[in-house]
Amino acid sequence: MRALATPANLQPSESPYKGFLVLIPLPPPDLDPTSIFEFFRGSYATELLTAAVVEFHVFERLASNPQSFDDLRTELGLAPRPANVLITALRAAGLLTINRGSRLDLTPLAREHLLPGGEFDVSGYISLAADSPGVREMIVRLRTNRPAGSTAETEGTAFIFRDGTASAMEHEAAARRLTLSLAGRAKNVAPVLAERVPLDNIHTLLDVGGGSGIYSIAWLRRHPHLRAIVWDRPEVLKIAREMAALYGVSDRLDCVAGDMFRDPVPAADVCLMSNILHDWDVPECRTLVERCTNALPIGGRMLIHDVLLNDTHDGPLPIALYSAALFCLTEGRAYSAAEFREWLADAGLTPEPIVPTLIHCAVVGGLKSS
C-alpha cells in the first residue's frame, strides 16, 4: 500500500486512489465544520456591501422612497437573479427590511450609519474597498448576470456544464481538481444524509450530477441491497469509479454519462439532486425537477439536498453569502424551501418534511403518488 496522493500533486491522468489495497470507511465527522465554511465565505459580505454603497447607492435610493423588489431592481438596472442575491444579503445583514406597505425600506441601523452626510455615517469608510479586485468583480457579475469565466462574446464557466458552451468539466485535469475539491465537503455531509434519510425499501437510487459519487456511496455502504446510478459528465465519472472502488461498492454503483437537460433520465426509485439546483436559474431548475419527476415510478421520491434560504429571503446571513458565491461561479443562487416545494408540487409531487443534514444543508423531498 502506498500513501494517498493529494489533488495538488496529481498529473491529469493519475488517480489518487490507485494502488490502495485496503478499503476505507466513510464515517461522519467528529466535529461540525460549518463554521469553517462560514468563515471562508465571509469575503462576499464585504463585496456585496461595498457594491451596494459605492456602485448602486441602494441606501440613498431607499432613504425617502421605499420600493418594491421589482421597482428597486429596475432602478438598479439588475436582472432578477443578481437583485435577489444583493437584496437578500442586505436583508440578512439587518440593513434592509420589508415595511408595513410590503416595500423594501432601510432599517434603523442602515438609516443611522449608511446615509451620506449623516452624523454617524460610515459609508466613506466602506468605500475604501471600492477598488479592490473582489468588489470590482462582484459589480461586473451583478451588472452582467453572468458567472465568472463568461462574457458576452464567450459563454462558458468552469463550474457547470451546458451543451454548446465551454466548460472546464469537459477537461480531465480541471474536472478532477473541482470534483475532488467538492468531495471534501461531501465526505462530511454524505454519512449524515444517509443516516437521516434511510432508503431501507429502495432498490435503485439515481444521483443526478453526482460528481464523485460520495452521496451514493454513503447510502450503498449503509444499505447492502441498494444499487445506485451516478449520472454526470464522462471526465467527472472517472473520479466516481475510483471512489466506488476505494469504498468497495463498484459492483453496485453504475456510472452513466449524459447531459441532464437533454438525455433520457435513467430509471430509478429515488432521484437525488444534491447541491445541483443551486447551480441553475429558476427555469432550468424547474426543467430538471420536471424531467426527473417524469422518470420516477408511482411511489418514487425526489430528494433535493441543498442549502436553504429563509422562505422570506431575509437570511440566514451565511446562506445569503453562499448564494453570492454561487451567483459568481454558476448560473444559479441559493433557494428557499418554499421555492423547492413549489417546483416539486408543480411537477406533481407531494412535498415531504424537511430533514436537516450538515453544513447548512437539508433535504426537501417529494413523493410521486400518482
Q: Which residues pair with 308 in a beta bridge?
A: 335
- Catalytic residue selected from 223, 278, 305, 313: 278
Start and end residues for every CATH 3.40.50.150 domain found in the chain: 170-367
CATH number of the structural domain 38-152? 1.10.10.10
**Global confidence as pTM:** 0.89
CA distance to 95, 113, 121, 144, 273, per residue, from 53 (Å): 12, 11, 12, 18, 37
pLDDT in tens, the chain (370 residues): 223 333 333 344 444 444 444 466 799 999 999 999 999 999 999 999 999 999 999 999 999 999 999 999 999 999 999 999 999 999 999 999 999 999 999 999 999 999 999 999 999 999 999 999 999 999 999 999 999 876 543 444 555 655 555 556 666 788 899 899 999 999 999 999 999 999 999 999 999 999 999 999 999 999 999 999 999 999 999 999 999 999 999 999 999 999 999 999 999 999 999 999 999 999 999 999 999 999 999 999 999 999 999 999 999 999 999 999 999 999 999 999 999 999 999 999 999 999 999 999 999 999 999 8
| The domain made up of 170-367 is a member of CATH 1.10.10.10 | no
Q: What is the CB-side half-sphere exposure of residue 96 using CA atoms within 13 A?
A: 33
Per the annotation, the verdict on 113 as an active-site residue is no
The C-alpha cell that represents 38 in the structure block: 462560514
Start and end residues for every CATH 1.10.10.10 domain found in the chain: 38-152
